[in-house]
Amino acid sequence: MSAHTTAARKAQGKPAAAKAKQAALIALDWGTTSLRAYLFDAAGEVLDTRISTAGIMNLPVPVEEGGFDAAFDEACGVWLAQSSALPVLAAGMVGSAQGWVSAPYVETPAGEDALVAGIAKVRTASGVEMAVVPGVLEPGALPNVMRGEETQIFGALGERGEQADVANQPSKQPMQPALIGLPGTHAKWVVVEGARIARFYTFMTGEVYAALTAHTILGRTMKRPAAPDTEAFLRGVTVAREHGCAGVLATAFSTRTLGLTDQLAADEQPDYLSGLLIGHELAGLDAVLARRDVELAACAPRLIGAEALCERYRLALAQFGCGGVEIVHRATERGLWRIAVRAGLVAPTDQTNPTA
Amino acid sequence: MSAHTTAARKAQGKPAAAKAKQAALIALDWGTTSLRAYLFDAAGEVLDTRISTAGIMNLPVPVEEGGFDAAFDEACGVWLAQSSALPVLAAGMVGSAQGWVSAPYVETPAGEDALVAGIAKVRTASGVEMAVVPGVLEPGALPNVMRGEETQIFGALGERGEQADVANQPSKQPMQPALIGLPGTHAKWVVVEGARIARFYTFMTGEVYAALTAHTILGRTMKRPAAPDTEAFLRGVTVAREHGCAGVLATAFSTRTLGLTDQLAADEQPDYLSGLLIGHELAGLDAVLARRDVELAACAPRLIGAEALCERYRLALAQFGCGGVEIVHRATERGLWRIAVRAGLVAPTDQTNPTA
């Protein structure tokens, strides 16, 4: 457990702001491999953050021996010792069938109200009630699921002055759909219409990249470059975009054949393949958006994720004619705060500036 | 080393055919993980076959200690002991940069004459000269390479009474392009025009399937069925064909989400994913063929490979409207014989019925 208490100490040094700096909410982003705990004040500012590796598949003791309680106490016990009545909200895999309490998926189109209505509750051994945000399911021939991302998405919607509920809009005109990308192991692309998650797509880009480099012939000739090779990355994106019609099962092999024919050095191959896969992801996204008359090039997507990865996606998106990309920061904290407010877990003192 | 000498024994029992049953050629299919050696008579009939695991990456002793010679002697020594002057031809990875002798790629369009002209030679420690067939390279933005398949393809062309060289055709009309598929780890689809390998595509279908099932989240919920599940396989093919526009990085995730939503049982998931990947391969093939005004549905492809896998491809191809699929048997032996004849290594006594 590594704890970062900078914000809390800063608050103590500013007695004038003491009232606003009182702890008002504990919110958790509890995934498969990590647990991030945030302590908020009533203005939605993060006072303290605690990060551990106690994801639901990595609990400090087995579930049957109180693994969830142990992880929770380790992360939040110090805060609850100071004010035991703090409300607690959690999002992520902790609400899955393998989690602490099952918070069944809410179906698309899913707005904040539906998420709030789907909140499940679990009481900890220490008597604290924890509210757990449900995931979202898009049914259909190719169902899609998310758990944790829905919270980040509503955090991202707070940017650009958007309202979370279409009923709050001054006019009855429908809002323009927003496109939000969450790059990573299982990259997601989410279309938000009228402040609701309308539909979304999952691309196994990160995990397929890892499997191809570690467990196929492509990895055997690769050498990690000293620094990321942007040129090789963009070359991969271009090949996927311009010569990708046979699909990634075919183009991936070019990583090897370009190497065999001395056209791609060993230390260019990792970034080339990365560009190829991300290029195919964006080409696929472009194709599914087009079926609904949405043009990727006309979107100004928001990205949520690790900064360096988001920057790579920004470069790749530019090759698809897609500019105005915005990288959203603190989407998780913003989303947790927003849902907690909507659920009535906390009464905000300054709603116009959450987690600023 | 397992040796099958049935054919040779049968020959001994038929003295009337003794002359034709004399050994006339040794031909090797020498790949990365296996070595198949064939003993032919002068009519192109296989008298004996010897199969070993001594592929070029699996030699009985290291290369610097004479690994290639050791493998060769183990496979063919018994034949050469009986008639030391037999010509020897080999195809496959033995001619690669990591092989016994480098037989540089011949570029497309590549006919039999070009392969023969590209033959490299190596002399064994025992003084035998071995001729090695070169591989084929298709240059371009996405280069493609084959080594060993070119020999199988010319073996398959012997079927249906085709001539190997357009110059032998009675008229000057161009031959219809033939489509030949070689399913497997790195599946290849080859377009043959005018008895030459015009262009080809490699799909990493088999290797990606193995990596996805063994090294991603998709494998975790899978259970091997007692017998192949054709229905699940065809469902995967259909999803790729009808809902595949986002690409395989997206559709692959449905293996998991269909499972999560109780629409795909654990023991249906392996065949579903297999169908999905093969479906994407064929959709990609369809797309690249269409760019050259060739319609997959109008082709009657020939397939070379393991019988059960070829049967799966036959089923999948039918979903793409592609009938008349023919599974070619003994393409390797036929191709080796054919190239040996063309190279003048052996003078055939009965060319009309090779390896019948």
Q: How do residues B216-236 score in pLDDT, each as one tens digit? A: 999 999 999 999 999 999 999
Structure confidence at residue B2 (pLDDT)? 39
Domain annotation covers residue B270: yes
Residues with Cβ < 8 Å from A284, sequence gap 6 or more? A201, A203, B245, B246, B247, B249, B250
* A187 found inside a domain: no
Q: Is the pLDDT of residue A235 over 70?
A: yes
| Rg of chain B on CA atoms, in Å | 22
Residue A106 lies in a domain: yes
Q: What local confidence, expressed as pLDDT, does residue A171 receive?
A: 47
**Residue A237 CA: distances (Å) to CA of A25, A307, B10, B140, B355:** 43, 19, 59, 17, 47
Please indicate, yes or no, whether residues A23 and A127 belong to a single structural domain of this protein: yes
Query: Within 13 Å and on the Cβ side, how many CA atoms surround A328?
Result: 26
Average pLDDT (B140-154) is: 96
Residues A272 and A246 in one domain: yes
How far CA A20 is from CA of A14, A26, A47, B217, in Å, comes to: 11, 15, 10, 44
A167, HSE (Cβ side, Cα atoms, 13 Å): 3
Work out the pLDDT band at A168, boundaries 50, 70, 90: very low
Q: How confident is the model at residue B17 (pLDDT cuts 50, 70, 90)?
A: very low
- Chain A positions touching B246 (Cβ under 8 A) are 201, 203, 284-285, 287-288
Start-to-end Cα distance in chain B: 26
pLDDT digits (tens, 9 = 90+) for A120-165: 999 999 999 999 999 999 999 899 999 999 999 999 997 554 544 4
**Chain A residues near residue B211 by CB distance under 8 angstroms:** 211-212, 215-216
Least confident piece of the model among A315-324, A343-352, B259-268, B271-280? A343-352
Please give the pLDDT value at position A141: 86
Q: Is the pLDDT of residue B238 over 50?
A: yes
3-state secondary structure B55-105: CCCCCCCCHHHCHHHHHHHHHHHHHHHHCCCCCEEEECHHHCCCCCCCCCC
Nearest-by-CA chain B residue for A250: B203
Chain-wide mean pLDDT for chain B? 90
pLDDT of B352 reads 52
| Chain B interface disruption, residue of A146, A203, A207, A249, most B CBs within 10 A | A249
pLDDT-derived band of residue B355, with 50, 70 and 90 as boundaries?
low
pLDDT recorded at residue B243: 95
pLDDT digits (tens, 9 = 90+) for A184-215: 999 999 999 999 999 999 999 999 999 999 99
ω into residue A143 within 30 of 0, thus cis?
no
- Whether B132 and B214 share a structural domain: no
Q: What is the mean pLDDT of chain A?
A: 90
pLDDT interval class at A352 (50, 70, 90):
low
Give pLDDT tens digits for A242-287: 999 999 999 999 999 999 999 999 999 999 999 999 999 999 999 9
| Residue A46 domain flag | yes
For A204, the closest chain B residue by CA position comes to B249
- Interchain proximity A284–B246, CB inside 8 Å: yes
In a domain, A85, yes or no: yes
Q: Collapsing DSSP states into helix, strand and coil, what is residue B15?
A: helix
pLDDT score at A259: 96
Provide the shortest C-alpha distance from residue A20 to chain B (in Å).
43
Considering the domain architecture, whether residues B263 and B139 belong to the same structural domain is answered as no
Q: Which of B142, B186, B243 sits opposite A243 (nearest CB)?
A: B142
Q: Do A204 and B214 make contact, defined as CB atoms within 8 angstroms?
A: no
Same domain (yes/no): A51, A125: yes
Main-chain phi, psi angles of B142, to 5 degrees: -120, 85
Q: What is the pLDDT of residue B170?
A: 46
Residues A218 and A286 in one domain: yes
Question: Three-state SS for B185?
Answer: coil
Domain that holds residue B72: 2-147
Q: CATH number, domain at B270?
A: 3.30.420.310
Residue A79's CATH number: 3.30.420.300
Indicate whether A351 belongs to any domain.
no
A137 vs B contacts (CB less than 8 Å): 261
User: Do A230 and A268 form a contact (C-beta atoms < 8 A)?
Assistant: no
Q: Which residue of A has its CA nearest to B289?
A: A246
Q: How far is A166 from chain B (nearest CA, A)?
A: 29
User: Looking at the 3D structure of chain B, how many domains does it have?
Assistant: 2
Share of chain A above pLDDT 90, in %: 85
pLDDT range class, residue B160, cuts 50, 70, 90:
low
Chain B CB contacts of A212 under 8 Å are 208, 211
Check whether B204 has a pLDDT greater than 70: yes
| pLDDT tens by residue, B262-280 | 999 999 999 999 999 999 9
Answer yes or no: are the C-beta atoms of A281 and A187 closer than 8 Å.
yes
Residue carrying the six token digits 């390896």: B355
Taking CA atoms, A25 is separated from A111, A122, A223, A353, B109, in Å, by: 22, 16, 47, 16, 70
What is the pLDDT confidence band of residue B21, given thresholds at 50, 70 and 90? confident
In angstroms, the CA A307 to CA A305 distance is 6
Given an 8 Å threshold on Cβ–Cβ distance, is B245 in contact with A201?
no
- How long is chain B? 356
For residues A73 and A81, give the distance between their C-alpha atoms in angstroms, rounded to a whole number.
10
* Cross-chain CB nearest to A260 (options B145, B239, B288): B145
Question: Is the same domain home to A59 and A95?
Answer: yes
Q: Are residues A161 and A214 in the same domain?
A: no
Q: In this structure, are residues B153 and B109 in contact, taking their beta carbons and an 8 Å threshold?
A: no
Do residues A127 and A213 both lie within one domain?
Answer: no
Q: Same domain, yes or no, for B135 and B248?
A: no
Query: Which of B136, B144, B204, B282 best tests the A interface by mutation, with the highest count of A CBs <10 A?
Result: B204
Instruction: Flag if A215 and B214 touch (Cβ within 8 Å).
Output: yes
The whole-angstrom distance between B3's CA and the closest CA on chain A is 31
Cα B77 from chain centre? 26
In a domain, residue A182? The reply is no
Q: What is the DSSP string of A33-84?
A: S-EEEEEEETTS-EEEEEEES--TTS-SS-GGGTHHHHHHHHHHHHHHHH-T
Q: What is the pLDDT at residue A136?
A: 98
Contact A201 B246 (CB under 8 A): yes
Are residues A154 and A241 part of one domain?
A: no
For residues A55 and B6, the model is more confident at A55
A355 found inside a domain:
no
Q: What is the pLDDT of residue A162?
A: 56
Residues A302 and A337 in one domain: no
Going by C-alpha positions, the residue among A295, A280, A66 that lies closest to residue B249 is A280
